[in-house]
Amino acid sequence: MYKRQHDYLYVTVTGRNDWTSTIPTERNSFFYPGVTSSFVFTDAFPTIGKFMTGKLRAAYAEVGNDARPYAYRPALEFKTTSNGGYGYGFTGPNLALRPEFATSYETGTELGFFDDRIGLDLTVYRKEKTDQIVNDIRGSYGTGFILFNLNGAATRNEGFEATLRATPIEQRGFSWDVLANFERARGTVLALPNALPESYVSDTWLYGNVRNGVQPGLSTRALTGLFYLRDTIAGSRKMLIDPTTGLPLRSTAFIDGGYDRQPDFTVGLTNTVRFRNLTMSALLDFRKGGDVFNATEHFLTSRGLSNRTLDRNTPRVIEGVLRDGRENTANPTPNNIVVVPAVQTGFYSGISEELFIEKDINWVRLRDVTVRYTLPGRYFKARDASMYITGTDLFVYSNYSGLDPIVNGNTAAVGGSGGAGIDFGNFPMPRGYAVGFKLGY
Amino acid sequence: MKRALTALFVGALALPAGCEDFLDVNTNPNGPEKVTANLYLPPMLHALATTPQLDGRFIGRYTQQWYVPIAGAFTTWDRMGYDPSSDNGGQVWRDVYFVLGQNLVDMTELANAEERWDLLGVAYLLKAWGWQSATDIYGEIIVKEAIDQSKFSFNYDSQEYAYSEVQRLLNLAIENLKRTDGAVNAAYLGRTDKVYNGDRTKWLKLAYGMLALNLNHYTRKALYRPAEVIAAVNQSFTSNADDALLAYPGTQNDDINFLGRTRGNFNGYRQTRFVVGLMDGTVFEGAVDPRMSRMLSPAPDGVYRGLDINVANFGALTTTQQPNNFYGYALAGGLQLPGRYLWADKVRMPIMTYAQLQFIKAEAAYRLGDLATALSAYREGISSHIDFVNARNTDNAQSPLPITAAEKATFLANTAIVPAAASALSLTQIMSQKYIAQWAWGHSEIWMDMRRYNYTDIDPKSGMQVFPGFAPPTLLFPDNGGKIVHRIRPRFNSEYVWNRPGLDAIGGLALDYHTKPIWITQP
C-alpha cells in the first residue's frame, strides 16, 4: 500500500524594521522579530493519527510601536489671557522618548477526535509590554508642565482560552452541534513611568470620584477612588468616623479599594440543532465575577431620589471607629454617634462611591437565538431560500442591582481599559427581534 | 537581473540615510517652538495681576474679607479649612510653576543672550514674584529643583531659602533694570508690557517695592531691619502714578477681570462684619470711612452690613437687609450693569500700590521708633488710597460716586483715624488701614500681616487687637484639630497626587498641615 509522507513541522520566521517620525531621530529605527511553529504530531506519529488529529502550536513575537505625532517636543500656543502672547501648552517635552515593545508568547494545541466530531483547541498566552508609552500622564508641576508622554509603563496580559466543538448527534435530517468558548484573561500593571503612583484615563473619570486608575501591582481594570479611610490594623479595615459629625471619613487621595472589573472567566455557548428544514441556533453568554460601579444609583442616592433613602428619618450609627487618635490601637473607640440622614444631609451627599461598586457580578444572557426554515423548492431562481426569526438579548439573569452590567461608561476609543464596568446613566442592551426572508444566489 | 538586484541593494542601503531628514518632521505646524523674547511676557503679566485673585476667593475667607453664606452650614474655607482632593487654593502653585515655569526660563535666556537688560530685569522680578507669592501661601515650596523635566519627584526648600532667593532675584532685577546699555529698548518692551508700557524706571521702582515687602515680613525675626525696609520704600513708588496695574482688555472670558461682573465668580460672596466694622465707625469711634460706600456693597435698604461668619447663611437678616453682592446687586443680578470698585470687567487690577508701600513704611518706621515718619507715611497711605478708590471707580464707569475733596479732608482730619500727634499712632491703626487699602486684591499680603500678628495679637498702644474685631470662626474645620490656618496645602493635583514623597519629607501629608505656622511668622 502506498503511503504519502505528510509534512508535519512548520516554522515561520519574520523580521521587520520600522522607521518612524514620531520618535526622536536617534532612536527612530527599530527592529522586531517573530517566529511561529506548528507540529502536527498525528502526522509525525501515524500510530496516534489513526485515532485522532492533533497539532501543537507555539509562537513568539515582538512588536514595536511608535508614539503619536508631536509627542516629544512641545510647541508654544497663543494664549487667550490679557494681551495675547505665547506660552507652552500643558504637555512637556520628552526628548528621550523611545518606541514601546510588546513581547508575546503563545502555545496551544488543536485536537480532533472521532473524525473531528469532537474538537478541542487550547491556547495559553502571555504578552508583556515594556517601555510602554503613557500619553498625557501627569506629574508634579515642579517640572514646569502638567502632562507628559512617557515611556516606562509595563503591563502583562496573560490568559487561557479553550474552544470545544462537538457534534453529539449527526443523523440524516437531525443534527446537534455545540460550540463552547471559555476565556480567562488577566492584565496586571507591572510598572508606571518614573515610579508614579497612579495613572488613569481621564475620560473614564466620568462620575464622582472613581476612575479607572491603575497602580503597579493592580489589575489593568482596577478602579481607584476617594474611598473611605479605614484603620490600618491587619484584617480589621473598620471605617474611620469623624468624631464631630458621626459620618465616615474619606480619603483625600485616589486609592485602591481592591476592585477589579475583569471577570474571572467568560463562557460563550452556541447550540445549533437541525431538524429537516428547520435550524435553531442560540448563543448563551456566561460571565463569572468582575466588579461594576453603579454610578446611577449613587447619583440618585446622593440626591435622595433612590429608594434606599426612604429610611432617611431612621436614626442609625454607622459602624466604624472614631478617628480620635486611638483608631489604630488595640482599643479604638467604636462609633456611637447617632445620625439621622434627613437632618444631616451629608450622610447622602458625601456618601462614597465605594458603596456602589458591586463586587463579583455574574450574568447569563441570551445573546441571540435564530430559528430558520429552509424553504423546499426554488423561488425567484434562487439557489436556496429560507425564512428566519431572530431575537437578540432576550434575557439576562444577573446579580447586578442596576439595569445591565454589560455597560461601558464611555466608548472603546478612550484607550486603556476604558470605561467598561462604569455604569452612569447607561441603557441596557435593547431586546431585538428580526424576521427575515433570505434568498441565496 | 544582476544589475537590478544590485540597484535594489544600493537603494535599500540608502534608505535609512535618506530617512534621517525625511523623518525629522517634528516641527509642529500648529505652533512655534520659539518666539521673540517679549512675546512670552503677556501671559505672565496677566498672571501677575490675576492669579492672586483666584486664590483670593479662599484667602479672602481666611482673612474675613468676605464670607460665602450657605443654608444650614459653613463652607470649608469659612471654617479655616480647605477642600480635600481639590485644586482650590492651588492657582498660585499652578501659575508659578506652569504659566511662568519654562516660559520664564526661556524668556530669561533669550533676554540675556540678546542683552535686553530691561526685559531681563522684568524676568528676574517675575521669578521673584513667583517664589514670594508661592512661599507666602504655601510655606515650603520647590525652588532649587523646580522647572526640570527630567525629574519626577521634587524636594521642597525651606521658606528661609525661598526668602533669600527672592532677595537675590530682586537684586538681580534692580541691577539689570538700572542698565541703559545693550539692547535696552522701551519700545520693544512696551509692545507687550501693558503694565508699564516698557518704562524700565517704573519696573525698577516695583522691584524696590517688592524688596520692601519681602524685608518687612521679618518683623518677628531678630534679623528685622526696618531701616532697610524704609530705604527700599523710598526708592520705590513716589505716587499713585507709579502703581503697578493691569488693565483688562475685556474682549473674551479669559481677559476679563476675574472679579468682573461678566465672569460672575463672586455671586455667592458677601462682605463680613469684620471689614464693615473697620469702616463704619464701629472700631474707629464713629468715623465713617468715605471709602465704605465706594468699596463695599449696601443692602437693598441702603445700609452697609457685614455678615457674621459664625451664623449660617444670612441669619436673621430680612431680604432687604442682606448685603448685595460686590457688584452691587441682589443675588446674581446686575449682568451688563456697572459694577463697583474692583468688581468691574475692565478695571485696572493692582499688583502693588503706592498706598500699600506707604503702610509698609509706616509699620517699619513705627517699629524703628521713628513715629513722625510713621505718621506721615500712614497719612499718605490713607490719602493715596482714597485717590486710588476714586481712580478705580472710573476705570470702567462703576456706579459709586467719587469721594469728594471735602469728604477726604474731613476723614483725614478725624483724630480717630489720623492722630494729631505722632506719639498717638498705633499699630492697630496702621494695620487696619493697610487692610482696607489691600481689601479685595492684596490677599497674600493681608494674610501675611494677619499671620505676623497671630490674627488676634493685642497692640499695647491702642489696647485693642491689631486687627480689631477679628475672631477666628468658632466652628473650625475638623482636620484643623482646633488650630487656626497658617498656610494652604500645595496644589492637590500636582503634589498630593504626584509628589507625595516630597510632601512627606516636610510633613505635608499630615491632616492638619494647613495649620502649621510658616517660618517667617515665627520668632
Q: What is the pLDDT of residues B347-373, one digit of tens each?
A: 999 999 999 999 999 999 999 999 999
| Mean pLDDT calculated for residue range A170-181 | 93
What's the grid cell of residue B103? 516660559
Written in H, E and C, the secondary structure of B124-163 is HHHHHHHHHHHHHHHCCECCCCCCCCCCCCCCCECHHHHH
What is the C-alpha end-to-end distance of chain A, expressed in Å? 43
Query: Which residue from B26, B102, B495 is facing A144, i.e. has the nearest CB?
Result: B102
For residue A326, pLDDT beyond 90:
no
| Mean pLDDT calculated for residue range B132-137 | 98
For chain A, give the percent of residues with pLDDT over 90. Answer: 53
CA gap A204, A207 in Å, rounded: 8
> Which residues make beta-bridge pairs with B70?
B73
Query: Which residue from B23, B39, B254 is facing A81, i.e. has the nearest CB?
Result: B254
- Res. A47 pLDDT band, cuts 50 70 90: confident
| Mean pLDDT calculated for residue range A408-419 | 77
CA gap A323, A320 in Å, rounded: 9
| Mean pLDDT calculated for residue range A16-23 | 90
Give the residue from chain B lying closest to A138, CA to CA: B498
Nearest residue to A261 via CA among A398, A421, A404: A421
Q: Which of A26, A83, A91 to mutate to test the interface with B (most CBs of B within 10 A)?
A: A83
Per-residue confidence (pLDDT) for residue A135, from 0 to 100: 84
Q: Do A144 and B194 touch (CB under 8 A)?
A: no
Per-residue confidence (pLDDT) for residue A181, from 0 to 100: 96
| Mean pLDDT calculated for residue range B167-192 | 97
What's A424's DSSP letter?
Answer: S
Q: Which residue has the cell 487667550?
A: A80
CA gap B507, B88 in Å, rounded: 20
For residue B16, pLDDT beyond 70:
no
The chain-wide mean pLDDT, for chain B, equals 93
Q: Do B194 and A73 touch (CB under 8 A)?
A: no
Nearest residue to B33 via CA among A150, A72, A22, A99: A72
Q: Do B255 and A82 touch (CB under 8 A)?
A: yes
Query: Which residue from B23, B151, B246 is facing A82, i.e. has the nearest CB?
Result: B246
Residue A382 contacts residue A439 (beta carbons within 8 Å):
yes
The beta-strand segments (E) located in A89-146 are: 100-113, 118-138
Query: Which residue from B105, B148, B493 is facing A138, i.e. has the nearest CB?
Result: B493
Query: Which residue from B32, B50, B255 is facing A76, i.e. has the nearest CB?
Result: B32
Q: Which of A81, A149, A328 to mutate to test the interface with B (most CBs of B within 10 A)?
A: A81
Amino acid at B116: R
Residues in B closer than 8 angstroms to A252, CB to CB, are 84-85, 492, 496
> Which residues make beta-bridge pairs with A420?
A408
CA gap A81, B253 in Å, rounded: 8
Smallest Cα distance from B497 to chain A, Å? 7
Supply the ipTM of this predicted assembly: 0.89
* Residue B90 backbone zone (phi > 0: left; psi -120 to 50: alpha; other: beta): alpha
Residues in A closer than 8 angstroms to B143, CB to CB, are none
What's B339's DSSP letter?
Answer: -
Smallest Cα distance from A330 to chain B, Å? 22
The pLDDT tens digits for B41-84 are 999 999 999 999 999 999 999 999 999 999 888 999 999 999 98
Residues in A closer than 8 angstroms to B478, CB to CB, are 242, 244-245
CA gap B326, B266 in Å, rounded: 7
CA B265 to chain centre: 17
What's the grid cell of residue A283? 448563543
CA gap A315, A347 in Å, rounded: 11
- Res. A1 pLDDT band, cuts 50 70 90: very low
Residue B452 contacts residue B217 (beta carbons within 8 Å):
yes
Query: Which residue from A21, A74, A198 is facing B497, i.e. has the nearest CB?
Result: A198
- Higher per-residue pLDDT: B15 or B419: B419
Per-residue confidence (pLDDT) for residue A257, from 0 to 100: 87
Specify the pairing of strand B270-271 against strand B244-247. Answer: unpaired
Specify the pairing of strand A321-322 against strand A240-241. Answer: parallel
Q: What are phi and psi of A167, to 5 degrees?
A: -125, 85
CA gap A218, A322 in Å, rounded: 30
Give the residue from chain A lying closest to B153, CA to CA: A140
Query: Which residue from A19, A21, A70 is facing B28, i.e. has the nearest CB?
Result: A70
Tally of CA atoms within 13 A in the half-sphere of A228 that contains its CB: 24
Per-residue confidence (pLDDT) for residue A208, from 0 to 100: 86
Could you give the C-alpha distances from A215 to A102, A224, B278, B492, in angstroms and in order? 20, 9, 53, 18
| Mean pLDDT calculated for residue range B3-29 | 58
Element (H, E) at B428: helix B427-438
Query: Which residue from A72, A141, A198 is facing B94, i.e. has the nearest CB?
Result: A141
Element (H, E) at A154: strand A147-171
The total number of residues shown for chain A amounts to 441
The chain-wide mean pLDDT, for chain A, equals 89
Q: What are phi and psi of A163, to 5 degrees?
A: -125, 125
What's the grid cell of residue A36? 511561529
Burial A177-204 (b: 16+ CB within 10 A, else e): bbbbbbbbbbbbbebbbbebbbbbbebb
What's the grid cell of residue A213? 486608575
Could you give the C-alpha distances from B316 to B273, B313, B319, in angstroms and in order? 14, 9, 9
Per-residue confidence (pLDDT) for residue B9, from 0 to 100: 55
Per-residue confidence (pLDDT) for residue A440, from 0 to 100: 85
Per-residue confidence (pLDDT) for residue B247, from 0 to 100: 95
For residue A2, pLDDT beyond 60:
no
Q: Do B153 and A194 touch (CB under 8 A)?
A: yes
Per-residue confidence (pLDDT) for residue A329, from 0 to 100: 86
Smallest Cα distance from B48 to chain A, Å? 11
CA B146 to chain centre: 21
Q: Which of A27, A80, A82 to mutate to test the interface with B (most CBs of B within 10 A)?
A: A82
Per-residue confidence (pLDDT) for residue B5, from 0 to 100: 56
Other C-beta atoms lying within 10 Å of the C-beta of residue B18: 11
Residue A140 contacts residue B153 (beta carbons within 8 Å):
yes
Residues in B closer than 8 angstroms to A93, CB to CB, are 149
Residues in B closer than 8 angstroms to A70, CB to CB, are 26, 28, 30
Residue A59 contacts residue A37 (beta carbons within 8 Å):
yes
Specify the pairing of strand A52-65 against strand A316-317. Answer: unpaired
Q: Which of B98, B148, B345 to mutate to test the interface with A (most CBs of A within 10 A)?
A: B98
Q: Do B43 and A87 touch (CB under 8 A)?
A: yes
Per-residue confidence (pLDDT) for residue A46, from 0 to 100: 84
Written in H, E and C, the secondary structure of A300-359 is HHHCCCCHHHCCCCCCEECCCEECCCCCCCCCCCECCCEECCCCCCHHHHCCCHHHHEEC
Per-residue confidence (pLDDT) for residue B2, from 0 to 100: 57
Nearest residue to A83 via CA among B378, B49, B76, B499: B49
What's the grid cell of residue B246? 493691569
The pLDDT tens digits for A261-315 are 999 999 999 999 999 889 999 999 999 999 999 999 999 999 889 998 999 999 9
Other C-beta atoms lying within 10 Å of the C-beta of residue A303: 11
Q: Do B98 and A83 touch (CB under 8 A)?
A: no
CA gap B105, B122 in Å, rounded: 12
* Residue A352 backbone zone (phi > 0: left; psi -120 to 50: alpha; other: beta): beta
CA gap B135, B213 in Å, rounded: 13
The pLDDT tens digits for B235-271 are 999 999 999 999 999 999 999 999 998 998 999 999 9
Q: Do B33 and A73 touch (CB under 8 A)?
A: yes
What's the grid cell of residue A343? 437632618
What's the grid cell of residue B81? 479649612
Q: Which residue has the cell 500700590?
A: B353
A-B CB pairs within 8 A amount to 184
Q: Do B32 and A144 touch (CB under 8 A)?
A: no
CA gap B79, B511 in Å, rounded: 15
Q: Do A142 and B148 touch (CB under 8 A)?
A: yes
For residue B15, pLDDT beyond 60:
no
Element (H, E) at A371: strand A363-374
| Mean pLDDT calculated for residue range A145-169 | 92
Per-residue confidence (pLDDT) for residue B228, from 0 to 100: 97
Residues in B closer than 8 angstroms to A76, CB to CB, are 31-35
Q: Do A138 and B497 touch (CB under 8 A)?
A: yes
Q: Do A77 and B31 touch (CB under 8 A)?
A: yes
Other C-beta atoms lying within 10 Å of the C-beta of residue A240: 23
CA gap A288, A218 in Å, rounded: 19
Smallest Cα distance from B89 to chain A, Å? 15
Tell me the three state secondary structure of residue A271. strand
Residue A207 contacts residue A424 (beta carbons within 8 Å):
yes
Residue A299 contacts residue A207 (beta carbons within 8 Å):
yes
Residues in B closer than 8 angstroms to A141, CB to CB, are 93-94, 97-98, 101, 491, 494-495
Q: Do B494 and A75 touch (CB under 8 A)?
A: no
What's the grid cell of residue A335? 462609633
What's B100's DSSP letter?
Answer: I
Residues in A closer than 8 angstroms to B151, CB to CB, are 142-143
CA gap B100, B113 in Å, rounded: 19
> Which residues make beta-bridge pairs with A180?
A164, A269
Nearest residue to B310 via CA among B86, B522, B472, B87: B472
Residue B201 contacts residue B190 (beta carbons within 8 Å):
no
Nearest residue to A415 via CA among A46, A44, A83, A68: A68
Q: Which of A86, A148, A241, A323 to mutate to test the interface with B (most CBs of B within 10 A)?
A: A86
